[in-house]
Amino acid sequence: MNGFPALSVENLTRHFGSTRAVDGVTFTVESGRIAGFIGPNGAGKTTTMRILATLEVPTSGEAHICGFSAVDDPERVRQVVGFMPDHFGVYPYVACWEYLDFFARAYGLRGAERRDAVERTLAYTGIDSVADKPTRALSKGMRQRLSLGRALIHDPSVLILDEPAAGLDPRARIELRRLIRDLADQGKAILVSSHILTELSDIVDEVIVIEQGRLVAAGPMADIRQQLDRSCTIELVVAENPEGAVAWLQERLEVRHVERNGMKIQVVCAEAEEEVDEADVLVELVGAGFRVRRFGVRQETLEDLFLELTEGKLQ
């Protein structure tokens, strides 16, 4: 494109009275990448996204979409950004197609181009079968699809999705993930917030973590994991003597935390200087006479990272 990152915020700050909703946040998202935007309630995610979508102005700092300033050049930004808010707007009595048609007009699409955009969007988001229904008659999942459709109607280069998976059933979530991946594969940059971290971890290329308006971490999950105190979690199930197995593990490894539920044991170990080979641990455990039914090492999930990085302070 024009050499700029698709989306960037620089030292972005937004105060509401004494609340520092966003407090000096800087990050970028490149084309074709999906960035998961996570943080506790009130962390400042929606405020940041609304500024990027030109619906809010920052107290200071900058937000750019495709090199255009969301502050100084909101008209240009609106042409290249699509925003899916965390709640569905008004217009309960218009039909789905009319709703999309209205926004297509607002984006300046005319004639056949507008009809094509509406048809293409209805089909892409899988709501063509309810095109004539009024929006108030839609189920939550259908409404989310329509809301995504609205964000896509003008084929923007950057998509900002505020909790798009909220309230969706498992199948609808899988479908949404597929759509988001597909949109990124088309070259769009996507910033997506969610509290459903298991949902995000499968699709995001990087994560941006904020708390109380401040950036806590940003980058690919693997990089963030590396910056943290390394730990590894071993999960095992024994046939008998779980207390003995825990004692043995504590002797053998640098165990930080143990959780036991009947025969099921989970130990979080500090990663020692020289890496622990789980295969050796299993061989030794069995050699020591423990009857092991199941044994595995669990990678840190996005949820683990979130809990480690944030302190749960609300504002």
Ligand X SMILES: Nc1ncnc2c1ncn2[C@@H]1O[C@H](COP(=O)(O)OP(=O)(O)OP(=O)(O)O)[C@@H](O)[C@H]1O
Residues in contact with Mg ion by CB under 5 A are 45-46
Pick from 5, 36, 39, 82: which binds ligand X (CB under 6 A)? 39
Closer to Mg ion by CB, 45 or 78: give it: 45
Question: Is residue 87 a contact residue for ligand X (CB under 6 A)?
Answer: no
Which is it for the CA torsion 183, 70, 45, 121, positive or negative?
negative
79 binds ligand X (CB under 6 A): no
Using the structure block, give the residue that is written with the tokens 């109380």: 212
Q: Long-range contacts: 104-107, Cβ < 8 Å, 24+?
A: 104/153, 104/154, 107/78, 107/79, 107/153, 107/154
Q: Mention every residue, 6+ apart, whose C-beta is less than 8 A from residue 306.
A: 38, 197, 209
Write the DSSP string, 102-126: HHHHHTT--HHHHHHHHHHHHHHTT
By the rule CB under 6 A, 216 interacts with ligand X: no
| Per CB under 6 A, 46 contacts ligand X | yes
- Give 52 or 234: the residue with its C-beta nearer to ligand X: 52
List 10, 11, 16, 298, residue binding ligand X (CB under 6 A): 16
Q: Which of 44, 85, 141, 164 binds ligand X (CB under 6 A)?
A: 44
Residue with tokens 């217009």: 91
Please tell me whether residue 176 adopts helix, strand or coil conformation. helix
In the complex, the smallest distance separating the C-beta of residue 210 from Mg ion, rounded to whole angstroms, is 11
* Smaller CB separation from ligand X, 45 or 173: 45
Q: Given the complex with ligand X, which of 294 and 313 has the nearer CB atom? A: 313
Among residues 160, 144, 163, 151, which one has the least CA distance to residue 43?
163
Provide the mask over 17-36, with x wherever binding to ligand X is found by CB under 6 A and - wherever it is not: --x-x---------------
Query: Do the beta carbons of residue 313 and residue 211 sit within 8 Å?
Result: yes
Asked if 207 interacts with ligand X (CB under 6 A), we say no
> Which residues sit at the interface with ligand X, rule CB under 6 A?
16, 19, 21, 39, 41-47, 315
